[in-house]
A and B are shown apart, each in its own frame.
Chain A
Amino acid sequence: MLDEEVSVNGQPAVADGLRKQVRAFIAEHDPATTGRLEFIRARFDAGLAWVHYPAGLGGQGLPRTLQKVVDAEFAAAGAPTNRPERNGIGLGMAAPTILAYGSDEQKKRWLLPLWTGEEIWCQLFSEPGAGSDLANLATRAVRDGDRWIVNGQKVWTSSAHIASRAILVTRSDPDLPKHKGLTYFGVDMTSPGVEIRPLRQATGEAEFNEVFLTDVAIPDSDRIGQVGQGWQVSTATLMNERVALGAFQLPREGGMIGFSAATWRNHPEQRTHGLHDRLLRLWVGAEVSRLAGERLRQQLAAGQPGPEGSGAKLVYARLNQEIADFQVELLGADGLRYSDWTMHRPDGADFYGRDAGYRFLRSKGNSIEGGTSEILRNIVAERVLGLPPEIRLDKDKPWKDLPR
């Protein structure tokens, strides 16, 4: 495994020590006879959950890159996992935010069940009136003694229907400029007044939800960061959004292009010269983007995606769309058919599943979700290339006076 070799480079002794710890842990907690939950709770308590987290919170304060050593050791022993794929937002976005801005009490209360998957988290950020312009959000939080009363509507919330808690950003002071009057919470999704409705998308299914908040009472002890610090905390959350940088390296033809290459090889009758040229261009694009992703991973051996990740996401979205578009055309008559328009509510996102028509439609979301391609180009231009920021008319006026 290249990842492992890169990551333990320079710390072979620490890596060895970790391997020994895992083996000792497994000797004490036989996966065959220990219950799944008991096992993973004990793993958290042993500091082997996420080694880069502090001691007492599931980690040992080690470099993040060493996590792979631990995971590999547990996997080799056939140990049960914390099913991280079910709690991507919790693990990837909520947890680092809680770690950076949460109180000691919140860290103790939230991080264990979050890591074990006993509490799935979702994200209440986007609103109908606040997409790319997140800081324009209008969900109001009004202080009422030692609690807050929240009213508003959130949208594009994946996993809301299975989540027990959410990271939520609200407007606590409309008289301040937009970035200054925000406050951030970790809200209990079972609170009265939280209503979840599926949001049906172009593919026919509902991968996301709308969440309506009506007089939801949130205890002040669930506030993350200071009152008015919500924008800063949200920025920390979004910095952790894993932009198109998969955790592992795909093989050649491992993504969307694999379907087209296979169809091309198996169906000579579908080939034309025009499609051949397109296929080769797309194949080159896909393979080069795979190499560029791996090169970026090699550069960021520490694993913290910077603004450079925005470039990878731009390429990924464009290629997914172009390849999926190519594929329905290559299929010809079958491109005119669709598997199923019935509304389902899948547990997670699936870019590659189902049929070509589904992939064609689902890929249209790739250049919108996780930052539109236009916003990402601004990010590259401003943060990577140092070009001047957009001229802003909304930064210093009270939020309530902005046109909308």
Chain B
Amino acid sequence: MTQQAEKAEPGAVTAAPGAAGGAGARLPDMTYTEQETELRAAVRSVLEEKAQAAAVLARTETPQTYDTALWRTLAAEVGCAGLLIPESYGGAGASFREAAVVAEEIGRSVAPVPFIGSAVLATVALLEAGDAELLTKLAPGTTTAALAVPFESVPGARPAPSVRVGPAGDGDPAGTYRLSGTVSGVADALPADVLLVAADGVPVGLYAVAAGGTGVSKTPVVSLDMTRQLCDITLSNAAARRLVGGAAAQEVLARALRAGAGMLAAEQVGLAERALDITLAYAKQRYQFARPVGSFQALKHRFADWWVAVTQARAASRYAAACLASGDPDVDVAVALAKAVCSDTVVLAGQEMIQLHGGIGFTWEHPAHLYLKRAKSSALALGTADRHRASLADLVDLPPPPR
């Protein structure tokens, strides 16, 4: 290759092959609308009252790590449970733009509620499968569901299900299937009434299983993040109803995981921003050497870089939410981009929160560790930054070295 060859490449004007939507044409609105800001205020006022740091911390050491009462309040007062569910099924009929705002607020308070698991992952799966029966029950928040996939599942990857379909039992009503197997490390399944389980065998598909039914056991996992405790699910000949079968089931799962990753990125933005707010307030009132520690340039520059990282992450997250909401052809790129950058930013935020608090930030009593743990867990969940960058390599034609 010569300099001539390099110069001749019209890099600066070439759009990425295969990339559509926001790639070159107009970008969607990435700000917050007035309604979104109102929704944010409503969610925040509930969480500020009912998800205070001390209470969230205390709950992590109780048997009931999920706050089901808070979840019912968010569902009843703000409609959080049925946000993405159409009004005809009793939901709010809102879009991923609004759902992202709720996710941000939940991230801000690290509240132990199954928003991502029930209102996003399970709800999107049910919407894609077109299951009116369960959607109608999920909308008011009185029933919650979980998509029984390991929390580290990567959107786009299609691993073989770890659960198998067996023959229906004698006397089972028509349409009943029996599932056996285990799914480990599932988020938001502990408080769930219904589990959505992908199962292999005949017929392959996505099934609904009553969490309280015979042959269903949920074993709590001692999790890195106890504000979103995982559990292992074991099914032994558990009765199930099929929601969708065949290749369509894979597509349903893929879309649910993609939406989940996009909304989790929004949660990460909220967490990173709140961690910054809390730490900033502390740096202004904590004195050492007879000055606020926030007056030292070594800290100011770290805060500035942190703030810049949050503004960048927010743009990526809003772009993903807008693309999910409109079904933009660029949505795969948008979600991978958002989860990649927000995962890195949220972990930075968790680390900086502890370091810039100094000693108090390393205590159990201070909530900084809750933020760090939720940050790191969310970075591992639904595709790490590295996995999403690998997806981008395919999506925007930047292939790895030839073998």
Interface set of A (CB-CB < 8 Å, partner B): 1-2, 249, 251-255, 258-268, 270-273, 276-277, 279-281, 283-285, 287-289, 291-292, 294-296, 298-299, 308, 311, 314-315, 331-334, 337, 339, 352, 355-356, 374, 376-378, 380-382, 384-391
Contacts and interface: CB of A to CB of B under 8 A. Distances in A.
26 contacts: A253-B11, A253-B14, A254-B12, A264-B398, A268-B399, A268-B401, A271-B401, A276-B393, A280-B392, A284-B337, A284-B340, A284-B341, A287-B337, A288-B316, A292-B311, A292-B316, A298-B31, A315-B312, A332-B1, A378-B297, A378-B300, A380-B304, A381-B304, A387-B280, A387-B284, A387-B303
A355 to B, nearest CB: 6
A349 to B, nearest CB: 15
Given A276-B393, A279-B398, A263 B307 contact: no
Contacts of A315: 308, 312
Contacts of A270: 1
B15 interface: yes
Interface stretch (B16-24, B205-213, B347-355): B16-24
Given A263-B9, A272-B401, A380 B307 contact: yes
A222 to B, nearest CB: 39
B301 A311 contact: no
> 4 shortest A-B CB distances, which residue pairs?
A262-B11, A381-B300, A292-B315, A259-B11
B174 interface: no
Contacts of B30: 291, 294-295, 298
A387 B284 CA distance: 7
Interface string B104-137: 0000000000000000000000000000000000
Given A339-B3, A377-B305, 8 more contacts: A253-B14, A258-B14, A271-B400, A276-B400, A298-B30, A381-B303, A387-B295, A387-B299
A295 B315 contact: yes
Nearest to B316: A288
Contacts of A259: 6, 9, 11-12
B295 A391 contact: yes
A252 B294 contact: no
B62 interface: no
A264 B308 CA distance: 29
B337 to A, nearest CB: 6
Contact of B6 (A263, A281, A283, A288): A263
Contacts of B9: 259, 262-263, 266
A339 B4 CA distance: 10
A374 B298 CA distance: 11
A252 B6 contact: no
A336 to B, nearest CB: 11
Given A311-B308, A378-B300, A388 B294 contact: yes
Most A CB contacts (10 A, CB to CB) among B6, B29, B301 go to: B6
Contact of B15 (A251, A298, A384): A251
Contact of B392 (A284, A292, A339): A284
A315 B294 CA distance: 22
A262 B14 contact: yes
Interface in B262-303: 280, 283-284, 291-292, 294-295, 297, 299-301, 303
A377 B401 contact: no
A388 B292 contact: yes
A296 B15 CA distance: 22
A356 B6 contact: yes
B87 to A, nearest CB: 28
Nearest to B25: A251
A299 B27 CA distance: 13
A254 B15 CA distance: 7
A263 B11 contact: yes
A400 to B, nearest CB: 27
Contacts of B284: 386-388
Contacts of B304: 311, 314, 376-378, 380-381, 384-385
Nearest to A378: B300
Classify chain B: how many residues form its interface, as a range. 35 or more
B31 A295 contact: yes
B24 to A, nearest CB: 4
Given A291-B316, A331-B1, A387-B295, A352 B12 contact: yes
B371 interface: no
A287 B19 CA distance: 12
A308 to B, nearest CB: 7
Contacts of A390: 295, 297
Most buried by B among A260, A262, A287, A294: A287
**Most A CB within 10 A of own CB, among B12, B31, B299, B318:** B12
A136 B127 CA distance: 65
B311 to A, nearest CB: 6
Contacts of B397: 265
B297 A331 contact: no
B307 A311 contact: yes
A271 B402 contact: yes
Given A288-B312, A292-B311, A295-B315, A255 B12 contact: yes
Kindly name the residue among A284, A296, A299, A391 whose own CB sees the greatest number of chain B CB atoms within 10 A. Answer: A284
A260 B11 CA distance: 7
Nearest to A275: B401
B398 A253 contact: no
Given A280-B393, A291-B27, A331-B6, A385 B280 contact: yes
B300 A261 contact: no
Nearest to B2: A334
B252 to A, nearest CB: 28
Contacts of B19: 252
Contacts of B294: 387-388
Contact of B311 (A294, A311, A382): A311
Contacts of B292: 387-388
Contacts of A377: 300-301, 304-305
B317 to A, nearest CB: 10
Most chain B CB within 10 A, of A299, A334, A381, is at A381
Contacts of A277: 389
Contacts of B401: 268, 271-273, 276
A311 B402 CA distance: 38
B3 A249 contact: no
Contacts of A331: 1, 6
Considering residues B2, B27, B390, which has the most beta carbons from chain A within 10 angstroms of its beta carbon? B27
Contacts of B308: 311, 314-315, 380
Contact of A254 (B13, B300, B392, B396): B13
B14 A288 contact: no
Contacts of A376: 304
B11 to A, nearest CB: 4
A253 to B, nearest CB: 5
Contact of A381 (B301, B337, B390): B301
